[in-house]
Structures are given as C-alpha cells and as structure tokens.
Amino acid sequence: MQTCVITPARLRVSQIGLGCVTFGLEIDEAAAHGLLDHAYARGIMFFDTASAYAQGASESIIGRWIASRRPAAGAVTVATKILPPYEPARVVDSVGESLQRLGLDVIDLLYLHRWDATAESPAALAALDGLVRTGKIRALGASNYNRQQLETALALQQQHGLERFSVVQNNHNLAVSDVSAEFRQFCAAQKIAIVTYSPLGAGFLTGKHRRGVQPGSRFDLVPGHQDVYFHEEAWRRLARLESVAARTGQSQAHLALAWALHQPGVASVLVGGRTPAHLDQALAAQTLDDPALFAELSADSETPQQLVRQAGSEANSNHPR
C-alpha cells in the first residue's frame, strides 16, 4: 500500500484510509474489529474517526482494538475530530475525552469537525496550539471547510504565531465535491494535505437509491445525506456514471472508487464500510488508472453551481459526515 508523509509532523498516511463512521452505528464491535484487522493486514494504516461517530463509540471501538492488537509504535496513524463550539476549555476537554476513549497518550491528527464562528477565535486556536506543544496532538486539521474559511484560519494562526492546520478533509466524489481545482491549488500553495471521504457518496453512486432510500442504509440512518445528494446535478452525474459503466462493463462502484483514488493532489481517500468486501473493492480499484476514462466521468463535474457551493460560507457547515 502506497503511503504519503504529511509535514510538518511527518504523519504517515496510506493512500486508502479506513473511515470508521460505521463503527457502533451500522456495525457492532466484533465486525468493526474484523474490518480493522482486514485493513491493517492489507497495508491500510490510517484510521479516521470522530467524537461524534455513534456518540464516541467509534473512538472506543478503535481504542479497544489498539489495546488488544498492540500495533508497533508508529504502525498506525489515528485521526479524530471534535465538534463545535470551540471555546478553549471545551476544546481541551473534548481532546481529553477522545484520548481517553482511544486509550492513547497522543492523537496523531485532530480535526475541527466543521467550521463554526468560534473556530475563528484566537483563543480557540491558541488552545489547539497548546495541545500540540504539550504533546497531546501531533498535527491539526480542518474538516468540511471551504477555501475562505481555511484561508481565514491560516491567517489567524500565522498572525498569532500558532500551530497551523496542515490537513484538510472534505467530501469528494463524482456526484458531489467540496474539493474544486481552485481549492486544490490553494492547498498545494499553502502546503496543506488533502484527505477526501465518501468516494461512493455513501452508496449514492452505486445507484441503489434510484427507487428510494434503502432501509438500514446510511441515507436512512443519517437522513442529512439526502439533502446533500438528492438534487438534479448529482442525479445527472450518476446517470453519466451509469452510462460509462454500461459501456465499459465495469461496475459503477469500481469506476467511482478508481476515479477518487487517482485524483491529483489528494494524500488519502477514506473508505468506509460494513464488511471486508467493501475494502477489497477499493483495493481492487487502485489498479484501474485510466486518465481518459476519468476525464469522461468528470467532464462536467466542475460546474458553476459547484464553485458557488465551494465558495459559500455555509457550504460545508452542516454536512452529515
């Protein structure tokens, strides 16, 4: 499995990361540990969770896996996220709670889960800086931020001499994207690593919701996904994917995963799931690298509507992921 090193903390992340949003919500602990075992055995060593996932259960499940499997120091990289409001005392408490659930002394990568007005408080950013300086966090990141929000945060961190965000994590797939070409260029210039999630659009790109939300699916358990995907642009892009899949004989999932895994400027793509087979299809998609095919799939993906969505101050603040 190819890995990428993210500076300045020199975090090592695998090209495919394991998104652990399903843990404790869609699958139980035994199934989650089986998925972690399967991922680790195949070179996936970047695990992504959040305090909000199953109200902390996802972090606890990962913590018990680490305690029982005892991977060598540095063999896995764990990222988690905290929710707003980001008042200084709450930031410190939230990180302490995540460390306790994970059973770790240090969090490799901590994200602010989404933008909030309190995230632009120098005191909140100073609290994060203090946690890095005291060794509780190795690196800082921002999740579900647009360019304007990220640019403002970086400027504040520079102005006050604080630890800066070195990673951004956003939604990015053939149907819906919060990673425009302009956003990638900005991150490259600022030396911000990009991590993307939902390469299959939480199942939307498989086409299984064509006739309505499937019971027990992510769209059923987290209804906010419906607002993100059930609109004209996303349905049109799904139709394009379906057409290319029919013509090439490749499955929609295989094409969508391959496209996401070969996007320029992306350090890691988070893949979630309920069974090892979900990871295996992502691993298989690594072998499909066809720039012409990818260009056909995304020929109309960067529309004016997407750019407006990327620039809007509320573009990412209510994303269900």
Calculate the CA 3 to chain-centre distance: 16
Residues forming the active site: 53
Give the residue among 51, 54, 78 at the shortest CA–CA distance from 66: 78
Alpha carbon distances (Å) from 174 to 180, 216, 232, 312: 12, 23, 14, 20
Q: How far apart are CA 15 and CA 269, in angstroms?
A: 6
Query: Three-class SS of residue 253?
Result: helix
Degrees (nearest 5) of the Cα angle 78, 100, 116? 70
Residue 46 tokens, joined: 């970047």
Element (H, E) at 271: strand 268-271
What residue spans of the chain are helical by DSSP H?
29-41, 57-69, 88-102, 122-133, 147-159, 181-190, 218-221, 224-229, 232-248, 252-261, 276-285, 291-297, 304-311
